[in-house]
Amino acid sequence: MRLIKQSFERDGSGFVTLFPEESEDMWYAYNLIRPNDLLRASAIRRVTTESATGSTSSTRVHTTLTIRVASLDFDPQSSQLHVSGRIAEETKFTKVGQYHTLDLELQRNFTLEKDGDEAWDSVARGIIKEACDPVKSADVWAVVMQEGLANLAVLTGARTVLRQRIEVSIPRKRGGRAGDHDKGLEKFFQTTLETLLRQIDLNESKPILLASPGFTASSFQKFILDTAIRTGNKALMAQKANFVVVHSSSGHLHSLNEILQSPEVTARLKDTQYAREGKLMDDFMALLRKDDGRAWYGPNEVEKAVERGAVGRGGGVLLISNALFRAQDVAIRRRWVRLTDKVRDVEGGEVRTLSSEHESGKRLDGLGGIAAILTYPLDDLDEEETEAEINNADSNGVET
């Protein structure tokens, strides 16, 4: 993403003009655009005109429209973003109040305007900074497989995207039919390799994880290199150092979580956002199992820990899912923005916003979307809530 222009007022209102350059930028735009924002972008509009004789004709015209955002639709597979709303500025072809859906496109500017107090809050500005960072974490390709099944996925700084699922029937080894099994396995490897080559750019040097139970992944790596030699594909042969073979319990995509914890993978991916987020969740879960009062999750429990200064300097970490910042209710969004601001700016703790499109973010979503590693133990934060509810019920004359 390229930042073209920005202007922010003291009250938090303002606008930004961005130029999306790659599909990943649409994910950032999806997290940045909120209902009631003003969005200005190029559009194609069908216009009906009437002649002097009363006949009508319909044509498609290219124009620029500004809409008041009502809803967003993001397709994670194709990285297409559709934003719907009512037209906010009259043009030659449209009137205010008419409905339109803008399809944001790569290599075309769009301008996003937010009005109202704290509209451009710290989270929104952080998304712009991350999206426009030229040194974003490199992509990692992964082929999670078992005999007859392969899941081809790409891991970016913000998402895990399943690009292709490959299934090929392989005959079992029975009696003297071992040859049928070998032919089926070769066909499976060939199909998987062809699919992989359609997805990756051989001129780039990025890690390619090959994971499976047993020896399927290592056999696939040998097949790739043998094919490169046989066909004289020097670009494919040059990728040899990027292949990382690792064990997994299955060929399904959910095995990525255990794959990324293996020593050989963490050594290669230690500087990527995905690996850092995964390690933080592992550290949190380890503390939670110890049950020593240093790991808490859930909105109320974490807020209490922050209020008591336990998520600050000296090891305090707030883990929060970016899904919470997509809340359509402005008050709910501000609740989480102010919490992150307090931890980072007042308490001096670390704030990590995890992507709900990564395995680590999905694990966090399963815990309510928010968790914290405390600088010192606190006990019974959940029980305090129960006592407060009981006291409140007693004061209202409610029997418990």
Question: Could you report the per-residue pLDDT of 237-264, keeping only the tens digit for each?
Answer: 999 999 999 999 999 998 988 888 788 8
Q: Report phi then psi at 269, rounded to 5.
A: -110, 20
Which of 168-177, 318-327, 369-378 is predicted with the least confidence, judged by mean pLDDT?
A: 168-177
Question: What is the distance of C-alpha 261 from the center of its chain?
Answer: 19
Residue closest to 300 by CA, chosen among 390, 388, 385, 374: 385
- Mean pLDDT of the 140-160 span: 89
Contacts within 8 Å (CB) and 24+ apart, 255-264 = 255/144, 255/211, 256/142, 256/144, 256/153, 256/155, 256/160, 256/211, 256/359, 257/359, 257/360, 257/363, 259/142, 259/144, 259/209, 259/211, 260/359
396 pLDDT band (50/70/90 cuts)? Answer: very low
State residue 382's pLDDT score.
Answer: 76
DSSP, residue by residue, 227-287:
HHHHHT-HHHHTTGGGEEEEE-S-SSGGGHHHHTTSHHHHHHHTTSHHHHHHHHHHHHHHH
Q: How far apart are the first and last CA of the chain?
A: 56
State residue 193's pLDDT score.
Answer: 96
Amino acid sitting at position 243 = F
347 pLDDT band (50/70/90 cuts)? Answer: very high
Give dist(CA 296, CA 287) in Å, integer.
Answer: 9
The answer, yes or no, to whether residue 144 has pLDDT greater than 80, is: yes
- Mean pLDDT of the 82-102 span: 94
Beta pairing, strands 140-146 & 208-212: parallel
The answer, yes or no, to whether residue 351 has pLDDT greater than 60, is: yes
Query: Tokens 């899912």 map to which residue?
Result: 321
| Cα angle, residue 29 at apex, residues 27 and 34 outer, rounded to 5° | 120
Q: How many residues does the chain have?
A: 400
Share of the chain above pLDDT 90, in %: 57
Residue 236: Cβ within 10 Å count? 19
State residue 270's pLDDT score.
Answer: 66
Q: What SS3 class is residue 144?
A: strand
Number of H helices, E strands in the chain: 12, 16
The answer, yes or no, to whether residue 157 has pLDDT greater than 90, is: no
Which helix (H) or strand (E) segment holds residue 289: the answer is helix 273-290
Helices (H), 291-370: 299-307, 330-341, 359-365
Distances in Å between the Cα of 298 and the Cα atoms of 157, 159, 303 are 25, 23, 9
Residue closest to 146 by CA, chosen among 188, 193, 182, 97: 188
Instruction: Please provide the average confidence, as pLDDT, over all residues in the chain.
Output: 87
| Cα angle, residue 204 at apex, residues 202 and 208 outer, rounded to 5° | 75
Cβ contact 96:87 at 8 Å: yes
- Mean pLDDT of the 82-90 span: 95
The answer, yes or no, to whether residue 286 has pLDDT greater than 70, is: yes
389 pLDDT band (50/70/90 cuts)? Answer: very low
Beta pairing, strands 295-297 & 370-373: antiparallel
Give dist(CA 274, CA 266) in Å, integer.
Answer: 10
Which of 22-26, 143-147, 340-344, 347-351 is predicted with the least confidence, judged by mean pLDDT?
A: 22-26
State residue 173's pLDDT score.
Answer: 78
Read off the pLDDT of residues 8-28 as tens digits, 9 standing for 90 and up.
988 889 999 999 988 888 989
Q: What SS3 class is residue 60?
A: strand
State residue 388's pLDDT score.
Answer: 47
The answer, yes or no, to whether residue 390 has pLDDT greater than 60, is: no
State residue 46's pLDDT score.
Answer: 86
272 pLDDT band (50/70/90 cuts)? Answer: low
Cβ contact 123:40 at 8 Å: no
